[in-house]
Amino acid sequence: MILGIGSDLSDIRRIQGSLDRFGERFTHRIFTEIERTRSERKPDKASSYAKRFAAKEACAKALGTGMRAGVFWRDMGVVNMRSGQPTMALTNGALARLETMVPAGHKPVIHLSLTDDHPYAQAFVIIEAVPV
């Protein structure tokens, strides 16, 4: 059963501007350590960060909260499964919100699709509840 759907479009040029202007102050405020490590290794850091920014926005929409109700930027992070497929890891307020959405006898699965085509990055998030 689908519990939430979210999408977001991020302008890579805007993320590049934030990286240029604020540097680590920006990346440490918004992104998890795993996201920073992965993005800093990429030749086009801005595209990598923009996809992750869009994923956070899409996830917050799928949670039904946006960036409020105890859900903060670093409570949601893009991680990769062993296969390389991206998904979201939630902590703190985002995880607490997710737990309230999942019916008894089910577990949450977060599906994430990321893409970019300069100057835009896009993310789609579907939160699903599957029987245990």
Annotated binding site for Mg(2+): 8, 57
CA-wise closest residue to 54 among 12, 98, 17: 12
Q: Which two tokens stand for residue 119?
A: 């100057």
Q: Are strands 76-80 and 86-90 parallel, antiparallel or unpaired?
A: antiparallel
CA 26 to CA 17: how far, in whole Å? 10
Sequence ranges of the binding site? 8, 57
